[in-house]
Homo-oligomer: A and B are copies of this chain.
């Protein structure tokens, strides 16, 4: 804030100053497109995607009606259908919408499930339904919890499922908890299975979970925000085996597929629910007496009114790469994470959070500085190790060389979580990361 005057004033600034402001904004920003930026699930900068976003902002229109976004509305329909085909729903039938991110897509899934089982909640509110219970893994994304709070279920009615060492839901725990809830007289309504958890990159066993959901008549949502991209890869799509049995799926092309932010879709197997759940038939926007087929006016399916055009950049990238291009990108990123895993699993000073070939590009590990290497496991070592990753991260940010995330998880102290989604990343960037962690952590 010292080197950059951010203040807004009454009088306009000169064009020269505006250009300086733009340069400064980029100068002080973080280079999320850099091949050594590993901090988030969304990284990289696809040049066709960028061109698509530029054209989108030039067109500056709104997805709510066909009449003002005819091309984009058709592209959205067609792309959603293609995504449903890839999920495996017959003829790509079903429904869906692009939303402003995975959290909102997941929120949609909970809303739609509630509408399917208790449509009267739309008019009468949550008190018209029995006590409803949702299930998700303790490793799942916090957006399921946000949705349970926002939509009026209450976070106490979201039950967290136990996972195995690699972060995958234990189906028997789901069934036991469903039975427990039913015995209390509550209604188990919604199960979220994660395809690619945020930290471990774990894939919940969808088929086994689907068996249980079918048995107890529960909505199955698959949060594939992070893992959905693997459906594009013949080598890796088996990790989402059973996804076609889901009632709804979240899939964020802006993560593993490298589409510029924001680009997230929620896909729904049963047609009509999205519309039924959200429509309010505003007369000023969705006039029934238009001169075209008004089923193209998709806006009333949304919880939004105005809706940004997120489809074009994705559609254009798909055109430019083809399905095979996305497949190559996914395969390459997963190869890189396997390379990282192989390199550090037995390297001195590195300790894996769990020892298994990564399912996704997530690789979770501790760096153990020399000063801690001989120390027996115990309170002191844990407390000191907890401080290592934050310290290395701080040094990374100060030196500006690379960025990677860390976090604790359950009873595990702070560890690094590497993720790779950038098409520009190479083995030498992985090598660099390892050496940089060693360099910065040596004296800790």
Please report A residues at the B interface, Cβ cutoff 8 Å: 1, 4, 6-13, 15, 17-18, 21-22, 24-26, 28-30, 32-33, 39-40, 42, 45, 48, 50-51, 53-55, 57-62, 67-72, 74-75, 78-79, 82, 100-104, 107, 111, 121-128, 131, 141-143, 145-146, 149-157, 198-199, 254, 260-262, 264, 277-278, 280, 282-285, 287, 289-291, 302-309, 312, 315-316, 318-325, 387, 390, 393-394, 397, 403, 405-409, 414, 417
> Can you offer 13 A-B residue contacts whose CB atoms are under 8 A?
A4-B71, A7-B78, A8-B318, A9-B323, A10-B324, A39-B68, A61-B261, A122-B155, A124-B156, A261-B308, A264-B306, A285-B407, A289-B390
How far, in Å, is A140 (CB) from chain B's closest CB?
11
Q: A315: which of B8, B78, B143, B309 is its contact (CB, 8 Å)?
A: B8
Q: How far is the CA of A241 from the CA of B305 in the complex (A)?
A: 26
Q: Which among A40, A199, A406 has the highest number of chain B CB atoms within 10 Å? A: A40
Given contacts A8-B78, A21-B316, A319-B13, whether A121 and B61 have CB atoms under 8 Å apart is no
User: Are A60 and B261 interface neighbours, CB within 8 A?
Assistant: yes
A12: nearest chain-B partner, CB-CB: B322
Copies of this chain, whole number? 2
Given contacts A10-B322, A124-B156, A280-B142, whether A291 and B394 have CB atoms under 8 Å apart is yes
Q: How far is the CA of A280 from the CA of B143 in the complex (A)?
A: 9
How far, in Å, is A40 (CB) from chain B's closest CB?
6
Query: Which residues of chain B have C-beta atoms less than 8 A from A254's C-beta?
Result: 306
Query: Which residues of chain B have C-beta atoms less than 8 A from A290's C-beta?
Result: 390, 393-394
Q: How far is the CA of A325 from the CA of B9 in the complex (A)?
A: 11
13 further A-B contacts with Cβ under 8 Å, apart from A11-B324, A149-B280, are: A6-B315, A8-B319, A13-B322, A28-B71, A40-B68, A53-B53, A57-B260, A100-B307, A101-B305, A123-B155, A125-B131, A125-B157, A283-B408
How far, in Å, is A149 (CB) from chain B's closest CB?
5
A407: nearest chain-B partner, CB-CB: B284
User: Are B125 and A8 interface neighbours, CB within 8 A?
Assistant: no
Query: Which residues of chain B have C-beta atoms less than 8 A from A278's C-beta?
Result: 146, 149-150
Q: Which among A13, A30, A50, A155 has the highest number of chain B CB atoms within 10 Å? A: A30
Q: A145: which of B128, B280, B306 is its contact (CB, 8 Å)?
A: B280
Given contacts A6-B74, A318-B8, whether A152 and B149 have CB atoms under 8 Å apart is no
How far, in Å, is A392 (CB) from chain B's closest CB?
11
How far, in Å, is A78 (CB) from chain B's closest CB?
5
User: Are A100 and B100 interface neighbours, CB within 8 A?
Assistant: yes
How far, in Å, is A232 (CB) from chain B's closest CB?
10
Q: How far is the CA of A32 from the CA of B325 in the complex (A)?
A: 33
User: Are A303 and B107 interface neighbours, CB within 8 A?
Assistant: yes
Query: Which residues of chain B have C-beta atoms less than 8 A from A320's C-beta?
Result: 12-13, 15, 18
Q: How far is the CA of A283 from the CA of B403 in the complex (A)?
A: 17
User: Are B33 and A316 interface neighbours, CB within 8 A?
Assistant: no
Q: Which 6 A-B pairs give the minimum distances between C-beta atoms?
A: A152-B152, A125-B154, A291-B394, A100-B100, A126-B126, A126-B152
